[in-house]
């Protein structure tokens, strides 16, 4: 009955972000995103056009940073749907 809603949520969490977009969520620049990916802190997809990050992986990193007291960027504290709208 709720399969459509769950599928929609899964599709949103699989949304791909550029280094710039992912960095905006975390409050860092694209170079720092590269460093985080190289350090294994966040999975990355390498493409001919650059690095891409899954929304769910970036959100998980945000949660880990918040749990460690990192606080995060103001954008990271917005509801997920609003963040996605701002990044699109």
**Domain 3-87, CATH class in plain words:** mainly alpha
pLDDT of 6-18, one tens digit each? 444 455 568 999 9
Instruction: Return d(Cα 64, Cα 59) in angstroms, integer.
Output: 9
Q: What angle do CA 52, 6, 88 make, to 5 degrees?
A: 40
Structure tokens at 15: 């949304």
Residue ranges per structural domain of the chain: 3-87
The pTM of this model reads 0.68
Whole-angstrom Cα Rg for the chain: 13
The pLDDT of residue 56 is 94
The pLDDT of residue 55 is 92
């Amino acid at each position: 009955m709720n399969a459509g809603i769950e599928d929609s949520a899964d599709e949103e969490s699989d949304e791909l972000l550029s280094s710039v977009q992912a960095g905006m969520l975390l409050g860092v620049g694209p170079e720092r995103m590269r460093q985080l990916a190289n350090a294994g802190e966040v999975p990355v997809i390498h493409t001919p056009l650059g690095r891409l990050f899954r929304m769910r992986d970036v959100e998980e990193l945000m949660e880990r940073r918040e749990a460690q007291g990192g606080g995060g960027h103001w954008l990271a504290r917005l509801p997920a749907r609003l963040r996605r709208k701002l990044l699109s």
